[in-house]
Each structure stands twice: as C-alpha cells, then as structure tokens.
Amino acid sequence: MKKTSLKRRGKSELSKLKAKSWAAFSKYIRQRDKYTCITCNKNLAGSRALQAGHYISRRFNNTLFDERNVHAQCMYCNMFKAGNIGVYTLKLQEKYGEGIIKELTEKSLQIKQWTPQELKDIFDKYSNML
C-alpha cells in the first residue's frame, strides 16, 4: 500500500513538471507566432481563445515540445475543427518544407520518457525566452 502511494506521488510530480514546462513552452509559441492562428490567420492577441495547437497529438511524448509541431491556434480551429489538420499540413509544408510531415511523424513514433531534469530544462529555456 505504501509503495503504491509513493509511486503515485512520483508520477504526479512528473506530470506537474510537465504541466509547468508546457505552460512556459505554449506561452513562448503563442508569442513567437504573434498570437495569430496558423490555420485561419485570426489574430487573437490577449484572448483566452488563443491556444498552442499540436499538429501531431500531444499524446505523443517525443513531439510534445517540438517547436515545429506546435503553433498558435484559435480554440475554434484547435478544438472544434480537430486541429483543422488539412490546412495545418499545408502550412507546415510551406513553413518547413515538404519533408516535415514525415519527419515529425517518424519522430513521434519513437518512445520518449521525459526525465524531471529535461522538463526543468524546458521550463527554464522557454521561461527565459518570454
């Protein structure tokens, strides 16, 4: 019983760190993209409806914090249009070249476990860039 609670605590520590790193990273991404939705070009500076939307789902750990996989996106495109993925694909190819989809997809398929140190480094890196 003790073991289980320790394990659970360890896990939530990591997910807390992940959430913290994500907050800094996504803030940086929205700033980098000048608060403009990558798929519909709407400018949402100062709006809570502006999010940082993944091209490849955030469920894939290895591309979670890849700057090429995440862009400013309005809530409408990100959530109600499921990422507006057709347009998102074209925009990524425009921005990074034709090979980007294959590259990100292959990267996403590699298993990745974030360590607490890596997450702290991500947090520091992007906090400093804000």
Least separation, in Å, of the C-beta of 82 and Zn ion? 12
* Nearest CA-CA partner of 88 in 76, 70, 103: 70
Options 24, 37, 50, 52; binder of Zn ion; rule CB under 5 A: 37
Options 44, 74, 119, 122; binder of Zn ion; rule CB under 5 A: 74
Q: Which is nearer to Zn ion, 18 or 71 (CB)?
A: 71
| CA–CA separation, 106 and 48 (whole Å) | 32
Contact 52, 12 (CB under 8 A): no
Q: Could you say which residues in the range 1-30 bind Zn ion, by CB under 5 A?
A: none
Per rule CB under 5 A, is residue 72 in the interface with Zn ion?
A: no
Least separation, in Å, of the C-beta of 46 and Zn ion? 16
